Amino acid sequence: GAVVSQHPSRVICKSGTSVKIECRSLDFQATTMFWYRQFPKQSLMLMATSNEGSKATYEQGVEKDKFLINHASLTLSTLTVTSAHPEDSSFYICSASRSGIDSPLHFGNGTRLTVT
């Protein structure tokens, strides 16, 4: 089946540094990818929709300058958490679907970010 690869799985960084998370669709082309944030024992909060070749669409309350998204190719989207702070510590998960939002989402394994 479809596989979405996310890297790194874990990252610990110091406050003020930036962290880049990669999301790759391994066996299909994804014009759209989605980035979620999940706090412990809570639901998935959609942060932004990543569109290949164009700007990402951010959800209300998500700072676009803080969470930079680049979707440079049909198989790769990146999320960069800039100037990270402890409150940015969370589980970030990307997902992609073969044919739009009304088809199943395939999730990456997620990235556990800890900012010290």
Is position 68 an interface residue for another protein (rule: CB under 8 A)?
no
- The reply to whether 62 sits near another protein by the rule CB under 8 A is no
Residue number with CB closer to another protein (49 or 70): 49
- What is the C-alpha to C-alpha distance for residues 112 and 11, in angstroms, rounded to an integer? 6
| Block residue for tokens 């406050």 | 15
In sequence order, the β-bridge partners of residue 21 are 79
Tell me if 37 contacts another protein by CB under 8 A: no
Distances in whole angstroms, Cα of residue 35 to Cα of each of 14, 21, 40, 50, 110: 22, 10, 17, 7, 10
From candidates 41, 54, 65, 86, binder to another protein by CB under 8 A: 41
**The only residue of 19, 56, 84, 93 in contact with another protein, by rule CB under 8 A:** 93
Tell the residue number behind the tokens 């990818």, with chain if given: 33
Binding status of residue 44 toward another protein by CB under 8 A? yes
8-state DSSP, 31:
S
Return d(Cα 36, Cα 89) in angstroms, integer.
13
- Judged by CB, which is closer to another protein: 78, or 95? 95
Smallest distance, another protein to C-beta of residue 79, A = 15
Which chain residues interact with another protein by CB under 8 A? Answer: 34, 41-44, 46, 49, 93, 95, 101-110
